[in-house]
Amino acid sequence: MSTELYACVHAAEFPAQVLLRLRPDLQSHAVAVLEGRAPLERICAMNALARQKGTTLAMTRHEAQALPDLCLLTRSTEGELSARAVFLESLASFSPRIEEATLGTECAFVLDIAGTERLFGPPVMLAERMRAALLRVGFRASVAVSGNFHVARMKAAASRGIAAINLGEEASAMAKLPIGVLDLEQQHRETFELWGIRTLGELAALPETDLIARLGQDALIWRELAEGKHSHAFQPIEAKFTLKEFCAFDNEVEEMESLLFMSARMIDCLAGRAASRAMALTTLTVQMKLVGGSEHTRELRPALATIDRKFLLKLLQLELAAHPPQAAVVALTITAEAGQSSKVQLGLFAPQMPEPSRLDVTIARLKAIAGEERVGTPQLEDTQQAGRFRMAAFQVGSASNETRMHRQSMALRRMRPPLSVRVDIRANCPALFNDGRHSYQVTAAFGPWRSSGCWWATDEWDTDEWDVLAQAADSSPVACLLVLDRARNHWQLEAFYD
């Protein structure tokens, strides 16, 4: 018995399926897809409703516009590449060995499913699960299962639904298929038409010796294909997991509601694909191609990885409200990075923490009010200049369970802004300073600690720092930091030591 078993998944009219996948509002309409440059555009794919209205392949735009209630869309090559990755990713969950069998405007893959019965059940059950998985991500496909690679491929392309071919029944299953499934050259197709050969069964019935004598050695391969006996060396490809959705608009999108409507469907697909792998979305990069060729890119980084579609859409809405595109949008690309979903262990008596989604929405609204550079987590910059920091995106970190040793330490409490003071110098050291309200007698001064930098920029600095112990008029001790700006010869009280 043969140990080989293949399942071919075939999606017909793939350009049309790609465009309708992200356009649920057009699912119930007759839709045809045009390719080529105007005015020589021709129909390359269509849905079933368009075919019922009389739409045919290679029909020109002018001929298609004469049909009533027919929606014409432009083929998107980039969108098809993105959708192909989604298609392949869905199949990779059933078998790691996949070979591409795409021809023309179809999308087809053949899976080596030998030995998967214990995981997914009989071949028919596996085929049903494949179709259901593809339907969840927006594709309609036919599936054929056979012990012969070519039988599965041709049967899936010529039929609709699910077909399971038992071992030894390949020839009878292929007999009624049209001879066009062999993808013959034009001259050979015309020859078979002259002979009256229209099906694979009629081809298999021809005498082998006479057929080869008239058409050459290729005729032997055609006959073996018709009988379901031709062998094949499987050439698997490697499916790469990328979270990316692309949509090109037929008309320029100027309204925010229309842009968010399409973004909602794309985010829903990304979240569903991440959830199928027990992962969550950590970053969303939204890239909009604008009229004129420019681009507008925004990045969303939730505090915690999530697959909440409504929450991610709300973040995108707030982000676009704060940073709207400067022109109409003609294409939209959303790329996501996946990570492990975060889990928070709550204590029995600990107060309940706010939901991370509420935190992110609050931060986004604060940024819209106060500005991007004023909201986030302060981080020290790698510089010698005192007090330099930047605002980074806020991230929720896991609390450490380690118990830290408490010890006495001195804290530096900086003043924002620094306080201007008058300083008396004696023997090159501060001896007295006045802040405008009180005078302080210096009892000890340590310094100067000189630093300078950024001489090439506008924010250069050249300072002397003094750690000072002083007494006020009421003899109360004070420990502070005095700084001399050497460029302006200006003294400031920068901080107190607590």
For the chain, give every domain's residue range: 6-227, 243-341+356-395, 412-497
Q: 153: closest CA among 88, 216, 109? A: 109
- In Å, how far are 215, 258, 467, 472, 476 from 494, measured between CA atoms? 95, 53, 10, 17, 19
Q: What is the pLDDT of residue 125?
A: 94
How far, rounded to the nearest angstrom, does the alpha carbon of residue 139 sit from its chain's CA centroid? 18
Pairwise CA distance, residues 50 & 28, whole Å: 10
Instruction: Answer whether 303's CB lies under 8 Å from 392's CB.
Output: no
pTM: 0.69
Q: What is the pLDDT of residue 453?
A: 85
Q: 181: closest CA among 173, 277, 3? A: 173
Find all residues with CB under 8 Å of 109, minimum gap 6, and list them.
8, 9, 87, 88, 91, 98, 99, 100, 101, 102
Pairwise CA distance, residues 420 & 491, whole Å: 6
Find all residues with CB under 8 Å of 61, minimum gap 6, and list them.
34, 38, 39, 41, 42, 72
Q: What is the pLDDT of residue 360?
A: 77
Pairwise CA distance, residues 382 & 377, whole Å: 16
SS3 454: coil
Instruction: Answer whether 13's CB lies under 8 Å from 105's CB.
Output: yes
What are φ and ψ of residue 274, in 5° steps?
-70, -40
Q: 396: closest CA among 279, 305, 317? A: 305
What are φ and ψ of residue 464, in 5° steps?
-120, 130
Pairwise CA distance, residues 105 & 92, whole Å: 22
- In Å, how far are 27, 372, 395 from 366, measured between CA atoms? 40, 9, 15
Residues 6-227: name the CATH superfamily: Reverse transcriptase/Diguanylate cyclase domain (3.30.70.270)
Secondary structure E strands in 187-279? 243-253
Domain 243-341+356-395 in CATH 3.40.50.11810: no
Residue type, 350: A
CB atoms within 10 A of CB 21: 21
Query: DSSP character for 2?
Result: -
- In Å, how far are 33, 49, 303, 489 from 14, measured between CA atoms? 10, 15, 38, 74
What are φ and ψ of residue 9, in 5° steps?
-110, 120
Low-confidence stretches of the chain (pLDDT < 70) are 1-2, 341-348, 350-357, 395-409
Find all residues with CB under 8 Å of 255, minimum gap 6, and list them.
none
Pairwise CA distance, residues 75 & 19, whole Å: 8
Instruction: Answer whether 75's CB lies under 8 Å from 30's CB.
Output: no
Pairwise CA distance, residues 398 & 395, whole Å: 10
Pairwise CA distance, residues 225 & 208, whole Å: 13
Q: Are strands 70-74 and 30-35 parallel, antiparallel or unpaired?
A: parallel
Pairwise CA distance, residues 244 & 252, whole Å: 21
